Chains A and B, each alone.
Chain A
Amino acid sequence: MNWPLLWQYTGANALLGVLPAVIGLAIALPLGVACARWRWFYVPVLPLTTILYSIPSLALFVVLIDYTGLSNATVIIPLTLFSLCVLVPNVVDGIRSVPQPVRQAATAMGFGPLRRLVRVELPLAVPVIIAGLRIAVVSSISLASVGQLIGVSSLGYFFLDGFQRDFPEEIYVAGAAIIALALVCDLLLVGTRRLATPWSRG
């Protein structure tokens, strides 16, 4: 078991897993806000993200090779698109979950639309958004290992190596590493949610 390599590839896997979720969030927030605001906009956006999500990751990686070569981007871009399928509906649902009276009261007190979004709607949507982020991060971390099949390094390296050398220990360790990585990120997000929502305790 090549421990330094494991450590290195865990870091690579973490990057390949977390970055798509972060970029996905950056895209999903404005997109979701627009979808929540204009229903007709959501009508095409939702099926579009669902369609993208149904495409096997390997196929998408392969499609991108022509455009982004065999770099990290080839894995990050499809994973970002996958995370959108969870994040956009969660942003929309989160904003919609803000009670009507609260929204109306904010308007009536003189909050402009932007201020109301930032000070009232988004903070209250945080629990639902973070729930989506947890799914996106965990899925991306796991799927990133498939990128090894097109040569983009991650913990998937140990899966293939273990396969070729008939060495199950490697596979166990790498598998545990991925799961542990996913768990750590999940817990960090849960912690973030608790910090961001002091009113939901007690």
Chain B
Amino acid sequence: MSFLSFAWNWLKSPAQWHGSADIPIRILQHLGYSGLSLLVAALIALPAGIWIGHTGRGGVVVVNVANAWRAIPTLGLLVLMVVLIGFSALAWLVPLVVLAIPPILVNAYEGVAGVDPGLRDAARGMGMTGWQSLRKVELPVALPLIMLGLRTGAIFVVATATIAAEIGLGGLGRYIIDGLSQSNYAEVAGGAVLVVLLALLVQVIFVILRFLIVPAPLRIQARSDG
């Protein structure tokens, strides 16, 4: 039996759709962990990145962060948290947030810092305060890159939440991890298919968001910097 047929059989099975740990619940859990982490990361990284980009101070920090964060091993961070503080909400929240911050921070910084100096000049010349210039000119222009940073962050939290099943987190990763430990290949296959679909769904949501939020002239074909 091939991977797909394993997955299909498992997914069809009604046992997966009823009960306390069925597919819809796992999906919601996964979305919940991811969404919460992304939100927290955004609350920290967006203001920081925007501020650093706007004032131009602290750019050195961002550059170093940009270079270093991709090296941090996801799995290592997750297990470290559990070993240090035991399994709790913080044990998975901190790693997810830590991993989502860099793309959001770097892209927000680059988005705002990369605004054409001529635009900033014109805004100040018209009598806007720094704050007004930020709100009316710099942020709108930086929006595509900020959205890109959030989208990349979303990719990271969904992926990390999947791996976090190893340390005991719920969500779709559970199927893969449990299936591996029980040699239940059907469950592994099914879980993988669901994870792929969810990841793609999240991407679609961001595409739609970008369409709705970013004005047409600014919707440049920016590629993932993740």
Using CB atoms and an 8 Å cutoff, list the residues of chain A in contact with chain B. 46, 50-51, 53-60, 62-63, 65-67, 85-86, 89, 135, 138-139, 141-143, 145-146, 148-150, 155-156, 159-160, 162-163, 166-168, 171-172, 174-175, 178-179, 182-183, 186
Contacts and interface: CB of A to CB of B under 8 A. Distances in A.
Given A53-B155, A55-B196, A62-B176, 20 more contacts: A46-B221, A54-B202, A55-B200, A56-B158, A59-B191, A59-B196, A60-B196, A63-B189, A63-B192, A66-B189, A135-B70, A142-B71, A146-B74, A156-B75, A160-B79, A162-B83, A163-B167, A168-B83, A175-B73, A182-B70
Query: Which of the listed residues A62, A145, A186 has the most CB atoms from chain B within 10 Å of its own CB?
Result: A62
B93 to A, nearest CB: 18
Interface residues of B, number: 43
Nearest 7 pairs between A and B by C-beta?
A56-B159, A182-B71, A66-B3, A163-B79, A59-B195, A62-B192, A56-B162
A51 B224 CA distance: 10
Interface of B: 2-3, 6, 67-68, 70-77, 79-80, 82-84, 155, 158-159, 162-163, 166-167, 173, 176-177, 180, 188-189, 191-192, 195-196, 199-200, 202-203, 221, 223-224, 226
B200 A149 contact: no
Contacts of B180: 149-150
Nearest to A169: B83
A62 B189 CA distance: 7
Contacts of A55: 159, 195-196, 199-200
Contact of B80 (A46, A143, A171): A171
B199 A59 contact: yes
22 contacts: A50-B223, A51-B200, A53-B224, A54-B158, A54-B202, A55-B200, A56-B162, A59-B191, A59-B192, A59-B195, A65-B3, A141-B71, A142-B70, A145-B75, A156-B73, A156-B76, A160-B79, A162-B83, A167-B83, A168-B80, A168-B83, A174-B76
A171 B163 contact: no
Contacts of B80: 159, 162, 168, 171-172, 175
A79 B166 CA distance: 20
Contacts of A155: 73
A166 to B, nearest CB: 6
Contacts of A150: 180
B195 A56 contact: yes
Given A46-B221, A58-B163, A175 B76 contact: yes
Contacts of A156: 73, 75-76
A54 B188 contact: no
A51 B206 CA distance: 12
Contacts of A85: 224, 226
B173 A58 contact: yes
Nearest to A182: B71
Nearest to A179: B71
A154 B191 CA distance: 24
Contacts of B200: 51, 54-55
B65 to A, nearest CB: 13
A30 B22 CA distance: 45
Contacts of A172: 80
Nearest to A90: B223
Nearest to B165: A58
A58 B162 contact: yes
Nearest to A143: B74
